[in-house]
């Protein structure tokens, strides 16, 4: 009888051990991460760096210089993208509707005309005078950072609407007040600005499907995954990691705002903003090093 009872207890223990809960994910050492990032940044004279992380898997929202304002450069195209899909969702237009391509815009200072002179989207200028769909303009604005597409969309949507939606989504200091290459405004200090904290909140809404609606947020994530400039955050991640992101750079400014999709584990948001480094290869290297530190801290090497 005792032998039979012992055997039953032994079997019960085996069953219970098989049903035990998985071990909790170890908490990342964010203090060590901050130290490691500071050590990397110290190697660059005059560098200013902000890093923001939102990691739902660990319940972490973490910021290093998260409220520091930077010239937004092309990261301002993230709230423009969101506002475009919001207005489409509201029924104002279809994403298949078109705008006539023109290179003529008005300064917010005095209404004087100016044109885009510097752009990473050369092909779009071959189509001036022809219509292009709103969906294609959004794609060009994001993936190849087309300045012409951006200004056409800003004119169509209005900067005020972009700013209002950004604030509704929780941004505190981010300012989207104009299109790009408005030199009169630039000379007066009237520029689009952003913080890593605010960009992190916008990217987290896109990741979670709460920026507009899940179908439109999914389309935004797909567009962001086709980003062609990948020298910063993607370059610091293990091979096979997917990244939905928007970069931005101008003179000594270089940013990357990303949703990182590891091969194993849940997605997280990472924003890196840098200032004071004129060499964009150097700022890319610094951003990649920080990305590697962040990823190892949050996900190990996966």
The whole-number pLDDT of residue 22 equals 44
Helix (H/G/I), strand (E/B), else coil: 35 = helix
Domain ranges of the chain: 29-299
Neighbours of 6 (CB within 10 A): 10
38, with CB counted inside 10 A (0-12, 13-18, 19+), is exposed
Alpha-carbon distance of 167 to 165, in angstroms, equals 5
Please name which of 48, 72, 252 lies closest in space to residue 175, comparing C-alpha atoms: 72
Strand 105-106 relative to strand 98-100: parallel, antiparallel, unpaired?
unpaired
| Domain 29-299 part of CATH 3.40.710.10 | yes
What are the per-10-residue average pLDDT scores of the chain (302 residues)? Answer: 44 43 67 97 95 97 98 98 98 98 97 92 93 98 96 98 98 97 95 98 98 98 98 96 97 97 95 97 97 96 66
Alpha-carbon distance of 278 to 73, in angstroms, equals 14
Place of tokens 């190697």: 43
Reported as type and span, the H/E element at residue 11 is helix 2-18
The whole-number pLDDT of residue 179 equals 95
The whole-number pLDDT of residue 23 equals 42
The whole-number pLDDT of residue 9 equals 41
Give the helix, strand, coil percentages of the chain, each rounded to 5.
45, 20, 35
Alpha-carbon distance of 64 to 199, in angstroms, equals 13
- pTM score, two decimals? 0.90
Give helix 77-89 / helix 134-143 axis angle, nearest 10°: 160
């Amino acid at each position: 009888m005792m032998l039979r009872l012992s055997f039953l207890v032994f079997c019960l223990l085996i069953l219970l051990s098989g049903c035990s809960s998985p071990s909790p994910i170890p908490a990342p050492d964010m203090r060590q991460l901050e130290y490691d990032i500071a050590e990397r940044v110290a190697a660059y004279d005059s560098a200013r760096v902000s890093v923001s992380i939102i990691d739902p898997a660990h319940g972490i929202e973490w910021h290093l210089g998260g409220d520091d304002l930077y010239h937004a450069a092309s990261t301002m195209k993230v709230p423009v993208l969101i506002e475009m899909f919001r207005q489409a969702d509201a029924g104002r237009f279809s994403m298949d509707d078109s705008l006539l391509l023109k290179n003529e815009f008005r300064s917010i200072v005095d209404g004087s005309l100016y044109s885009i002179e510097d752009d990473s989207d050369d092909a779009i200028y071959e189509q001036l005078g022809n219509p292009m769909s709103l969906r294609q303009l959004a794609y060009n604005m994001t993936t190849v950072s087309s300045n012409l597409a951006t200004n056409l969309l800003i004119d169509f949507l209005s900067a005020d609407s972009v700013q209002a939606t950004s604030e509704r989504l929780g941004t505190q200091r981010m300012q989207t007040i104009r299109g790009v290459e408005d030199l009169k405004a630039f000379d007066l200090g009237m520029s689009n600005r952003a913080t890593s904290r605010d960009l992190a909140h916008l990217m987290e809404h896109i990741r979670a499907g709460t920026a507009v609606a899940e179908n439109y947020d999914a389309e935004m994530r797909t567009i962001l995954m086709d980003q062609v400039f990948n020298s910063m955050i993607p370059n610091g991640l293990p091979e096979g990691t997917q990244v939905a992101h928007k970069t931005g750079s101008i003179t000594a400014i270089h940013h990357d705002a990303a949703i990182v999709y590891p091969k194993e584990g849940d997605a997280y948001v990472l924003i890196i903003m840098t200032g004071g480094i004129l060499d964009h290869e150097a700022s890319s290297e610094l951003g990649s090093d920080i990305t590697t530190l962040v990823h190892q801290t949050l996900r190990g090497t996966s």
